Amino acid sequence: MPTTTARISGNGRSPAPELIDQLAPGRASRRRNWPRLGAAAALAVICGALFVLLYDSAGSRHPFLAVAKAVSPGQVVAPSDLTTVRVTSDSALSPIPADEAGLVVGRHAAVALVPGTLLTPADLTSGPIVAAGDASVGLDLKPSQLPAGLEPGDSVLVIETPGQSQVSTQASTGTTTLLTQATVLSITPPPSDSPTGDTAVTLIVSTGEVVSVVEASSGGQISLAGLGPKATAP
């Protein structure tokens, strides 16, 4: 009959499994910690990649010029019309960097500038904007001949008034409407040392109206009245 032999400890008993784990704890501990170590390493890699992505994204945002106030075509851009925003640069859009604001102020808007949009070189022009079929006419007007607060882009009514000789010989003033609407291209207040105090106003009129406006202006027989915005259909 076969017999089974077992190694016994010095006290005559076989070593228990718990005693074996206590005598060699490193092996079991390492076996249990490998999954945790792997998960921690994967998490560290993901966090590092996310940090690099966010850092690169933030680093590519630069300050550019944006439109703060609506500017009509032909109107001169003022500092208050601009603001600065930080956005990611786009080579296809070519926005104007914020440090070039000094080169933008004083130029004319080539198109209608909408608040909240980035400013690009195509939005500006160095000269006035006059469409085909129109012409610009310069006027020197006294304070009584134009409304207060007139600005480039405003629409005005052009009124022809009688000359001094006409007023003295006619009972009627003879005041007539010369143009029902013209657009102010630019307006320049008189300098402090101006002998006349006249304000230089440039209007955009159709080519067919140029002669009548120039004739009325040459005799000082012209005045402007500001028009409100056009009514829109409901």
State the amino acid at position 106 in one-letter form.
Answer: G
Is 73 within the bounds of a domain? yes
Is 105 within the bounds of a domain? yes
The residue segments making up the domain with residue 71 are: 61-125
pLDDT tens digits for range 34-57: 667 666 667 776 766 666 566 555
Evaluate if pTM is beyond 0.75: no
Residues 101 and 159 placed together within one structural domain of the fold = no
Domain count along the chain: 2
Q: What is the pLDDT of residue 93?
A: 73
Q: What is the pLDDT of residue 234?
A: 38
Residues 138 and 68 placed together within one structural domain of the fold = no
Q: What is the pLDDT of residue 97?
A: 92
Q: What is the pLDDT of residue 70?
A: 87
Residues 106 and 159 placed together within one structural domain of the fold = no
Answer for the pair 182, 156: CB distance below 8 angstroms, yes or no. yes
Q: What is the pLDDT of residue 149?
A: 86
Positions of the chain with pLDDT lower than 50, given as ranges: 6, 8, 164-172, 231-234
Q: What is the pLDDT of residue 17?
A: 54
